[in-house]
Amino acid sequence: QVQLVESGGGLVQAGGSLRLSCAASGRTFSSYAMGWFRQAPGKEREFVAAISRIGGSLYYGDSVKGRFTISRDDGKNLLYLQMNNLKPEDTAVYYCAARWAPGTLRAYSKTEDYASWGQGTQVTVSS
């Protein structure tokens, strides 16, 4: 099972940018479909973005389309989330997730699609 560690969160003003990273353990990272989710206090975990293995498919939640970009570097076992034009409503704990998917270029948007999760990184956007 892959181990995931997020980093890059912090406090930023509205309109600013942050880049989150997710470091994955193991030698088979390229065979995992990956995703980013977020959870604000008192709310359910929300889909943010997903990427298939080798980056063949990308998928974004409606609230972040045009502002966030998901990418991966399989050589470094890293997943990224570039977040631009941040809004106060983007404030949440952000989690990366992994699903073993060696035979497909599908990206997944549901929490139940993923078996492995990181501990999360806090993103706070001030108005």
Q: pLDDT tens digits, residue range 68-88? A: 999 999 999 999 999 999 999
Query: Quick one: CA dihedral 90, 96, 100, 103, positive or negative?
Result: positive
What pLDDT sits at residue 1?
Answer: 83
What pLDDT sits at residue 4?
Answer: 98
The residues, any chain, with a CB within 8 Å of residue 18's CB and separated by 6 or more, are: 8, 9, 10, 12, 83, 86, 123
